[in-house]
Structure 1
Amino acid sequence: MPRHHEKSTSPGGSQRQLRVGELVRHAIADILSQGGVHDPVLETHLITVPEVRMSPDLKLATVYVMPLGGRDTDIVLKALAANKPFIRTAVAHRVNLKFAPDLRFRIDERFAEAERIEKLLRTPAVQKDLEPDSDGN
């Protein structure tokens, strides 16, 4: 007998959380790219929305964003927070949910982490370890 109410062990949450997160991500990306938010900061910055994580009850959406080039992150976060009610309403009109999720905006740190790892891999010590042994082993 299948159990439908077990907690998900996947890192991103249940299939429903992932699906709704992706719908919210697309909605927010469309709203920002189409200039739907009339804010001078948001109108002058290209903002990527790589991920949205939903809470299990789908009432909270953590929206990970990154301005183009990683510049002005604090200014962009403040502008998004100031326009949160408008964005939340626009998302509610685009995504059919019982409740409009509360939005929490965070900077996506994965780009910086990937760059740090890339620099680490290029260091002489790591390059030396990656070279094949010259003694035939």
Structure 2
Amino acid sequence: MRKNSVKNTRINSEVLRELSRIISREIKDPRISPMTTVVAVEVAPDLKTCKAYISVLGDEEEQADTLEGLRNAHGYIKRELAHSINLRNTPDIRFILDQSIAYGVNMSKKIDIINAELHEREKAAQEKGEASDEHVNGEEA
């Protein structure tokens, strides 16, 4: 099975859906943040391994605790996945912290700050321009 085949894409989406359900509803570990999201899943073509990209909304300590909790619950997650998805092999899951959402939020904030500064500069330049126009008009009268 090729990596980008229709079958592999379908398996990836099914594993993603089931992992999201298991993490959000089944696991009761207090270390796992309630703001944990499975962003993407890559199941190997031989169905032996799986990379699960996890995003955790919170500080670095919450992210580390969540990853630790998920790694400790690995056996339970794999068993639940085997019960819910009928595959020849249940993939061995490796959890990877995905920083793309936090990076996007940070970049969006920076863009907003730059836009606000540009708007203030334009406004100041317009006010300065209007003041010089009044000064010129006042001298002519």
TM-score clears 0.5: yes
- Whole-Å Cα distance in 2 between the matches of residues 93 and 86 of structure 1? 11
Deviation track 1:94-135 (CA, whole Å, cap 9, x = no partner) reads: 01100010000011121123124324534649x86xx9xxxx
- Whole-Å Cα distance in 2 between the matches of residues 40 and 120 of structure 1? 33
Deviation track 1:54-83 (CA, whole Å, cap 9, x = no partner) reads: 112122111111223455111100110011
- Whole-Å Cα distance in 2 between the matches of residues 92 and 122 of structure 1? 45
Which piece of structure 1 moves more, 93-102 or 47-56? 47-56
Alignment of 1:1-137 (within 5 A): 7=2, 13-34=4-25, 36-42=26-32, 45-69=34-58, 72-122=62-112, 124=114
Which ranges of 4 or more aligned residues in structure 1 deviate by more than 3 Å?
68-71, 119-125
**Matched residue SS, 2:38:** strand
- Whole-Å Cα distance in 1 between the matches of residues 90 and 114 of structure 2? 51
**Matched residue SS, 2:11:** helix
Contact 2:24/2:34, CA 8 A, preserved across alignment: no
Deviation track 1:17-38 (CA, whole Å, cap 9, x = no partner) reads: 221111111111111222x224
Larger radius of gyration: 2
Residue 88 of structure 2 aligns with an amino acid whose one-letter code is K
What is the identity percentage for the equivalent residue pairs of Structure 1 and Structure 2? 27
TM-score, normalised to structure 1, is 0.71
CA RMSD of aligned residues (A): 2.6
**Matched residue SS, 2:31:** helix
TM-score, normalised to structure 2, is 0.70
Residue 31 of structure 2 aligns with an amino acid whose one-letter code is V
Gaps of 5+ in 2: 123-141
**Matched residue SS, 2:39:** strand
Structure number with higher helix proportion: 2
Contact 1:17/1:58, CA 8 A, preserved across alignment: no
Contact 1:28/1:91, CA 8 A, preserved across alignment: yes
